[in-house]
Amino acid sequence: MTINEIIQQNEELQKQYAKAINTITILERKLEKLQKENQRLAEENKKLRKLNNILMRAIEIALTIKNYDAQTRHLQLVLQKLRETGEFTKG
């Protein structure tokens, strides 16, 4: 192998190395973005689970109430309270 071939091979390896570094940088940025999105979704999921638990409990309580109007008032009060606290908004 001649010196020129070694130099040429070295230059090619340097280009490949630079491309690899760029690819790694791009992938690290994408990973960071996905981790942030995953964290946001995990927090949203936690809020939705809490809301689901509240609503399920409200429904369980409503089912123990024999009077339809009282059931309706109970559920309306629960929804009103959730809206006031900002945990629930109309669809």
DSSP H helical ranges for the chain: 3-64, 68-84
pTM, to two decimals: 0.66
Which residue matches tokens 């429904």?
59
State which residues form the domain around 55.
Answer: 3-84
- State phi, psi for 84 to the nearest 5 degrees: -65, -35
- In a domain, residue 71? The reply is yes
- 91 pLDDT higher than 60: no
Q: What is the pLDDT of residues 51-75, one digit of tens each?
A: 899 999 999 999 999 999 999 999 9
Instruction: Say how far residue 5 (Cα) sits from the centre of its chain.
Output: 52
Total domain count, the chain = 1
- In a domain, residue 91? The reply is no
42-68: b or e for each residue (b if 16 or more CB lie within 10 Å)?
A: eeeeeeeeeeeeeeeebeeebeeeeee
Which residue matches tokens 């809206």?
83
- In a domain, residue 29? The reply is yes
- In a domain, residue 89? The reply is no
Q: What is the pLDDT of residues 16-42, one digit of tens each?
A: 999 999 999 999 999 999 999 999 999
